[in-house]
Amino acid sequence: MPGADNVWLVQEGEETVLLEREGASGFVWKSEFSLTSSPYKLLVDWNGVEQEITDPYQFHKVMPSANSLESVSSLYHEMGAQLVSFEHGGKTYNGTRFIVFAPNASAASIVGDFNQWDGRRHPMQRLDYGLWGCLFRILTPGKGTNLN
């Protein structure tokens, strides 16, 4: 979280936990408890202004499988910005999934009004076959968003 002073992990029904700073802009969860099965949010302190955000990297299962990327017609349904519904922690969520083809890229990011156009805040995950992906639970239609 570049620019953040502190970051807390917020889970429904659990105590809020301050994440440990690692490096200039990293915050890490150092616990044996797995976060893969239950949804969580992050409470970020941006120089005295708090913002609660959903961590887009907790939704690993919404990325396309290798089988769904085998033909041009199936790629059409997976690439770009796609509205998706998915289950996580026993609840159903909606979001916008971004998948781009950039086989020679060393990094890719989603930037927009929601992260002050800072490409360091939401780097995309490198997937297979030169694809990069990320999912956001809430993006407002019509608001500025770009892929870098």
Which pLDDT score, from 0 to 100, does residue 61 have?
A: 65
Q: Is 43 exposed, middle or buried (0-12, 13-18, 19+ CB in 10 A)?
A: middle
Query: How far is it, in rounded angstroms, from Cα 95 to Cα 74?
Result: 20
pLDDT of residue 60: 66
What pTM did the predictor assign?
Answer: 0.66
CA distance 33 to 49: 29
What pLDDT is recorded for position 92? 82
- HSE of 40 in the Cβ direction (CA atoms, 13 Å)? 21
- Sorted by where each starts, the structural domains of the chain and their CATH numbers stand as 6-54 (no CATH), 57-147 (2.60.40.10)
Supply the pLDDT for residue 58: 79
Q: Could you state, in chain order, the average pLDDT of each consecutive group of 10 residues for the chain (148 residues)?
A: 88 87 82 75 91 79 68 78 81 84 92 82 84 74 50
